[in-house]
Structure 1
Amino acid sequence: MAKSAPGAPRRRGPNDPERRARIAKAAIEVVAQRGIDGVTHRSVAAAAGVPLGSTTYHFATLDDLLEVALHEAAEKNVHALKEWESALPPDADFAAALADLVMGYIHEQYRDTVVEYDLYVAALHRPALRKASAAWDDALIAFFGSRTDPLTGRLLAGLFCGLLMQAALADPRPTRDEIETLFRRAIHGPETPRSRD
């Protein structure tokens, strides 16, 4: 059996257990660079550094590629949300905390937010993606509901997603105070006018 030349890249066998995960991450990277329309088996294979046949072996259709990318993005988001929620003190000002969370998504994590919403919106035309997109919605409702109540949790999840999309597109973007005011209204309702003596 011939040995590889010194310094030559190690060939990965067909049973490479990490290859599927690398392809999934590469699909997200392609969405980030080129948008949904830029996702092809060839572009993802190039981004993953694998033969074209590997992408078609693991993911027969483009919807399969997009589905795994959306699952990967949703799992990453849910994990980050769990960490955020567990680090939040029980007596935290929840409206203020949610405003900070939105600001993080539209500033420091803007690129990831755009990718995730590209994939999320793709589910409108690709039924195969809807299960993965629903997982993110369900996680938001559960987390926000655990700090309020189930109905308010659903309201906050819808507001959160809508604000992220609007803020990502708006120029200028809404301020943190504006976002906090909306969350505060959703959580506490309108302020009761003071009675006049």
Structure 2
Amino acid sequence: MATREPAGRRLRGPNDPERRARIAKAAIEVVAERGIEGLTHRAVAAAADVPLGSTTYHFATLDDLLEVALHEAAENNVRELREWEQGLAPDADFAAALAELVMGYIHEQYPHTVVEYDLYVAAMHRPRLRPASAAWDDALIELFRSRTDPLTGRLLAGLFCGLLMQAALAEPQPDDTEIEALFRRAIEGPAA
């Protein structure tokens, strides 16, 4: 007679195919709570509710954990941005929509934004993380140029990232009219 696992108990070993993904998500949670310097195999194991050996089995080094966290964060961010863009009307005021998006990232999604930038900046000191951050940049450029043109898309991607970081750190934070004016200038050019 087969025994049943108690409800709510996580499966172990080969019967736990989602373990690697849980560890990756837990790495993001740890960075959100403790920053990059707080990322340890032990902290991730606790957050993922797995044995310590599982984190080191799937991700031998802390850079391995950082890399998977950056990929996960980038994929989530790009997916959310694509969903946002698909929800915009074809004739939407793109400058106003971008300003609203930035304000959402620095208010409602502030912790999420901080984690993404912590991981993104980590790539400056860890070359093996650079392909993941470059893929993130490329996705932003592609998204923004789909509403403008290739050069403006690249300009908007840089402006978007820079404004997010500046606005998240600024005291007081800029308001949406300031942000919108910058996006409008980038999209429309200087007034004649």
Indicate how the Cα distance of structure 1 residues 151 and 14 shifts in structure 2: closer, same or farther if over 3 A, else same.
same
Shift, 1:4, TM fit? 7.3
Once the two structures are superposed, residues 48-68 of structure 1 have per-residue CA deviations (whole angstroms, 9 ceiling, x without a partner) of: 000000000000110000000
- Structure with bigger gyration radius: 1
Once the two structures are superposed, residues 152-192 of structure 1 have per-residue CA deviations (whole angstroms, 9 ceiling, x without a partner) of: 00000000000000011111001100000000001111111
**Structure 1 partner of 2:98:** 98
**Structure 2 partner of 1:111:** 111
Q: Distance in 2 between matches of 1:102 and 1:156?
A: 12
2:36 aligned partner, one-letter code: I
Q: Distance in 2 between matches of 1:188 and 1:163?
A: 18
2:21 aligned partner, one-letter code: A
- Structure 1 runs (4+) deviating above 2 angstroms are 1-11
1:105 aligned partner, one-letter code: Y
Number of residue equivalences? 192
Q: Distance in 2 between matches of 1:29 and 1:119?
A: 12
Shift, 1:135, TM fit? 1.4
**Structure 2 partner of 1:58:** 58
Q: Which runs of 5+ in 1 are unaligned?
A: 193-197
- RMSD between aligned residues: 1.7
Indicate how the Cα distance of structure 1 residues 141 and 53 shifts in structure 2: closer, same or farther if over 3 A, else same.
same
Indicate how the Cα distance of structure 1 residues 8 and 149 shifts in structure 2: closer, same or farther if over 3 A, else same.
closer
Indicate how the Cα distance of structure 1 residues 139 and 3 shifts in structure 2: closer, same or farther if over 3 A, else same.
same
Pair 1:43 & 2:43 matched: yes
Q: Distance in 1 between matches of 2:77 and 2:10?
A: 33
**Structure 1 partner of 2:135:** 135
Q: Which runs of 5+ in 2 are unaligned?
A: none
The range that moved more, 4-13 or 101-110, is: 4-13
1:22 aligned partner, one-letter code: R
Please give the secondary structure, in 2, of the residue aligned with 1:174.
coil
**Structure 2 partner of 1:83:** 83
